[in-house]
Structure 1
Amino acid sequence: MAATTMLGGSAMAASPDQHSTPVDFPAADGELMSYVVNAKASNPKKTRDVVRAVAAAGGVAVQQWPEIGVVIVQSESASFRSDILKYGYASVESVGATRTIPVAEGTPDGIYTPWQKAPQQRKKQLAESDLLYGDATFDGVAADPREAEQWSQVQIKADQAHQVTDGSRNVLVGVLDSGIDPNHPDLQANIDVANSVNCTNAGRPDTSPTGWNPTTSSHGTHVAGIIGAARNGVGIVGVAPNVRMASVKVVNDAGSIYPEYAICGFMWAGLKGMDVTNNSYYVDPMQFWCDDQPDQKAVRVAVERAVEWSTKQGVVHAAAAGNASYDLANKTTDDVSPNDSAGIERQINNGCNDMPTELEGVVTVSSTDQAGKLSSFSNRGLNAIDVAAPGSRILSTLPNNGYGLLSGTSMASPQVAGVLALMKSQHPGWKPKQLISQLGKQAEDHICMPSATPTGAECIGKLSNNSYYGEGIVDALQAVL
């Protein structure tokens, strides 16, 4: 996964007026490239105007999102970016290339414009097992065979929370990742097949029966187990073992999460009335997307619109802080972007953001180890980290009925998604802003414990909010009381 790339931290940020190093997003006639085109207004009329301008500029509108005024476009014209601004001067706000290499998956067949209103009221979608078990509370909870190995559950007090509830079947968590093994015995009962989707077909939702299954990566299956492995006498138990999970596949077979995939994932979550999403990735090919570069800013705006819109529909988002031992509050350099071609050593500034974790309203999660220290790989940053959760050597599910240990903020973020799902189960009327506020208030304050991060990565801040733990380590027990 791209989010596992390691990068050294730095103690002093670039000057706010220091421009980031330009990155070339090349295009040549005859090469199929991908773009986001942002309309000046988020409505169907402006989006239709953009689509007409796209055609005039020699592009194909692959996917329209009128709810946010974003159109995903492919074009073989080297001049598409300048032409769309000329033909769409009255309707187009900005355009940005989404990758530095040609589109490998080609152009999807047919025209798909899934403009639909988001659900006005969440409907309970019962699986057959709900008729037997429903939403349960427990006087005593029997352990699954490997639950004693889940030290992370103890650190966030999920084991105590399960004495109160395992969560509600009303709650749906979108796992934006590489797919979930549909046959794993610890996951099968909790996968919401009807609301699962594949977004890697050029950013167009693919609802084919197996499209959302994992192919080349076990990452999504591992993440799903942390969130919602069932309490069924098999293997392990998730943080919220009774909630439903939708597999929203945003990782292609090469391991890339391009902007159009992420936009599709966030929009799908909002359209399907999901309650929580987990995002254990950064949007490729840039580790940080810089507002002083036109292509990068246009992409940032498009992804941000999708996140904001889905949040307005009631979805709360948790995201991994990243595994580069980087200070997100003091950005200086980046040597891995663009990661779909040859990365360059570039200067960046604090106007360059990791997406989606640094977007407004997204819960940014750092990683702790079993001793409660900041994991050596975890990103950090004063007022950049919201909360912390366990992410070192986490036991969870793997494809083909397997189990294994993985480390990363990718493993910390789903702990928080699970806690948010428990909180939503107990407080179904709470909106994202209230859920995030309570998550921080309920988190256990944590002193700045020494960690194995590089020199100059000292913890700064105070007990209630610091650069390692944000507002503290999440507390599942408080979430359900």
Structure 2
Amino acid sequence: MSRARRGLTIGVATLTLGVIASTLTSANAATSEKSTPVPISTPEGQVSSYVVNAKKATAKSTADARAVVRKAGGTVVQQWPQIGVVVAHSTHADFRTDVYRLGGKNIESVGATRTVAVSERTDAPRTLRKAQGVVKDEFANTAEEFVKPDPREGEQWDMAHIKADHAHEITDGSRDTLVGVLDSGIDADHPDLAANIDTRRSVNCTDAGTIDRSATGWQPTTSDHGTHVAGTIGADRNGVGITGVAPNVRMASVKVVNDDGFIYPEYAICGFMWAGMQGMDVTNNSYYIDPFEYWCKDQGDQAAALEAVSRAVEWSTKKGSFHVAAAGNSATDLTNNTTNDTSPNDSTPIERTINSGCLDIPTELPGVATVSSYARIGTSNETQLSYFSNRGLGVIDVAAPGSSILSTIVAGNGYGLKSGTSMASPHVAGVAALMKSQHPGWKPAKIMKQLKAQADDRPCAAEQPIGSGGAPCEGSARNNSYAGEGMVDALDAVK
């Protein structure tokens, strides 16, 4: 597993989990120069994957788009009429051109979602027509259990740093709160996770972006990244191992990482749509969407995928899902990107110019909480920005611990340390889950506002050196490029 990613460092395509590398070159200022074209070849006979965006998010417009796909020589793999998006496969080299030609005014955009042939096999085209009702479990931990420590809690410096230990004296969260872990799957029989996994709400989205509800499809196969993330969010208080930020909430495994470690747009779209349809209160997203670290609005294929993912995020947010995402591990200032040399990562990366219209998704999408990573200084409770963490004034919303985080892993149903903004993001997802548990009527915008308002200020003047390279901290005590509006605070979230 080789390539460094946002928090999810995924590779051989990927999932080099928690492993950090800096591959992005940043410059002094963002540029309005046109981004470097990255033509995606779709040779005749190769099965290629596309998103087709209808002009309107209606059943009729989506049906019209499906008809256009078929006329253009494609197969409808998945449709999302709620947002007017169709996922299609085609072996026709001119599929995109023909969709535009045949679609007329009904088609907003069409674009290939990867630079290589489709590797997964899919069943017959399908559409999820009706969401299931949300399961409400009737049991909850007692007050006595709230304050009884699990054996390895003393090793969880991160929980003490965000005051989760004190928050647990008030609540461990509600069973009515459901967190979607969009990742590589959750180990179903890990003793610290099994009781909190909502198997009925778990799903696999890596079969070309379709809904796979098989009993084992959502479980991990080649990576324990999602299992580690899940432990930070909601490891059970059960007298075993560790305790998560919100140890009494339910978690759904939403598998969006394929066996080669890639998260293609259609996988993420499926994940976000599933979260909205299943009434998930919070989602955690410790990844960037492949094969581009930055998706550029002035490139046809990239713009179409960016549009489709944006629609899915917006729709699920309106349905009540609050989305949290890792800021990334490239040690770059997200406000000042001008070049990138890691994309496309599913074929041959090129050195390319990027501009202010090139976004790291999903973390830079509106309404998504963007989380930077902090590291412990020695054995103290003091922290500094993790050397690998992305930053950016006006981009980072809040910070959380992300270096040397102890959590659950698959091997031996055990525990291990990982580092990355992937490890920071689930702390914020857990705090958001505690907040939602205390205030079930709060909508995503309210949760975002309160997360920021309750975060502990991290003034630039107090920041420690972060080592060689990297943009210095800029901004005010209340909002700066390193910590955003501060270190997330679990205790304030439940008061």
TM-score, structure 1 as length reference: 0.96
The whole-number CA distance in structure 2 between the counterparts of 1:140 and 1:104 is 47
Q: Equivalences for 1:389-408 in 2 at 5 Å? A: 389-399=400-410, 400-408=412-420
For 2:229, which of 223, 230, 233 is the aligned residue?
A: 223
Aligned mate of 1:385, from 372, 380, 396: 396
CA distance in 1 between partners of 2:465 and 2:475 (Å): 15
Structure 1 position 333 matched with structure 2 position 332? no
Change (3 A) 1:138 1:419: farther
Cα separation, partners in 2 of 1:139 and 1:164, compared to 1, 3 Å: farther
- Equivalent residues in 2 for 1:48-447, closer than 5 Å: 48-106=63-121, 108-116=122-130, 123-126=134-137, 130-131=138-139, 134=140, 136-138=142-144, 141-371=147-377, 372-399=383-410, 400-447=412-459
Q: Any stretches of 5+ residues in structure 1 without a counterpart?
A: none
Structure 2 CA distance for partners of 1:385 and 1:115, relative to 1, 3 Å: same
Q: Is 1:9–1:457's contact at 8 Å kept on the other side of the alignment?
A: no
Mark the CA change 1:140 to 1:192 in structure 2 (over 3 Å): closer, same or farther.
closer
**Quick check: 1:2–1:284 contact (8 Å CA) kept in 2?**
no
Distance in 2, Cα, partners of 1:162 & 1:406: 24
CA spacing shift, 1:63–1:123, aligned 2, 3 Å: closer
SS of the residue 2:384 aligns to: coil
Structure 2 residue 485 is matched with structure 1 residue 471: yes
Structure 1 distance, partners of 2:491, 2:286, is 23
Cα deviation per residue 1:375-428 (whole Å; 9 max; x = unaligned)?
A: 000000000100000000000000131100000000000000000000000000
Q: Which amino acid is the alignment partner of residue 345 of structure 1?
A: E
Question: In structure 2, which of residues 465, 479, 487 is the aligned counterpart of residue 451 of structure 1?
Answer: 465
Aligned residues: 471
Deviations 1:340-391 (A, max 9, x none): 0010011111110000000000000000001310000000000010000000
Q: Is the contact made by 1:101 and 1:340 (CA closer than 8 Å) also made in structure 2? A: yes
User: How far does residue 136 in structure 1 lie from its aligned partner after superposition?
Assistant: 4.2
Q: Is the CA contact (8 Å cut-off) linking 1:173 and 1:243 kept in structure 2?
A: yes
Amino acid at match of 1:170: D
Alignment-mate amino acid for residue 425 of structure 1: S
8 Å CA contact 1:138–1:164 kept in 2: the answer is: no
- Following superposition, the deviation at residue 139 of structure 1 comes to 8.8
The separation in 1 between residues aligned to 2:301 and 2:134, in whole angstroms, is 39
Query: Partner of 2:108: helix, strand, or coil?
Result: strand
Cα distance in 2 between the residues matched to 1:140 and 1:409: 28
Over the matched positions of the two proteins, sequence identity in percent amounts to: 61
- The 2-side partners of 1:298 and 1:36 are apart by 7
Counterparts of 2:173 and 2:156, CA distance in 1:
18
- Match in the other structure for 2:44: 29
Q: What is the CA–CA distance in structure 2 between the aligned matches of 1:136 and 1:189, rounded to whole Å?
A: 15
2:17 is matched with none
**Does 2:53 match 1:38?**
yes
Whether the aligned pair in 1 keeps the contact of 2:203 and 2:211 (CA below 8 Å) is: yes
Task: Determine if the alignment matches structure 1 residue 462 to structure 2 residue 476.
Answer: yes
Could you say which residue in structure 1 is the equivalent of 2:13?
A: none
Q: Is the 8 A contact 2:392 2:481 kept in 1?
A: yes
Q: Distance in 2 between matches of 1:138 and 1:270?
A: 34
Q: TM-score, normalised by structure 2?
A: 0.93
1:168-202 deviations in whole A, cap 9, x for unaligned?
A: 00000000000000000000000000000000000
Instruction: Measure, in 2, the Cα distance between the counterparts of 1:285 and 1:9.
Output: 18
Deviation at 1:305, TM superposition (A): 0.2
CA deviation after TM superposition for structure 1 residue 455, in Å: 3.0
Q: Alpha-carbon deviation of 1:452?
A: 2.1
Instruction: Decide whether the 8 Å contact of 1:198 with 1:205 is kept in 2.
Output: yes
Aligned AA for 1:446? R
C-alpha distance in structure 1 between counterparts of 2:233 and 2:167, whole Å: 14
SS at 2:105 equivalent: coil
- Which residue identity lines up with residue 391 of structure 1 in the other structure? G
Q: 1:453 to 1:78 in 2, by over 3 A?
A: farther
Unaligned runs of 5+ in 2: 10-20, 378-382
SS at the partner of 1:200?
A: coil
Partner SS state of residue 260, structure 2: coil
Q: 1:73, CA displacement in angstroms?
A: 0.5
Whether contact under 8 Å (1:8, 1:454) holds in the other structure is: no
What are the Cα deviations for residues 191-235 of structure 1, in whole angstroms up to 9, with x where unaligned? 000000000000001000000010000100000000000000000
Deviation at 1:24, TM superposition (A): 1.8
Where 1:34 maps in the other structure, the secondary structure is strand
Query: Partner of 2:29 in structure 1?
Result: 13
Q: CA deviation at 1:12?
A: 1.1
- Shift in alpha-carbon separation, 1:441–1:136, aligned structure 2, 3 A: farther
- Whole-angstrom CA distance in 1 between matches of 2:60 and 2:339: 41
Are the equivalent residues in 1 in contact too, given 2:228–2:408 (CA < 8 A)?
yes
Q: Residues 205 and 370 from structure 1, CA distance in 2 versus in 1: closer, same or farther, beyond 3 angstroms?
A: same
Aligned partners of 2:5 and 2:328 also within 8 Å: no
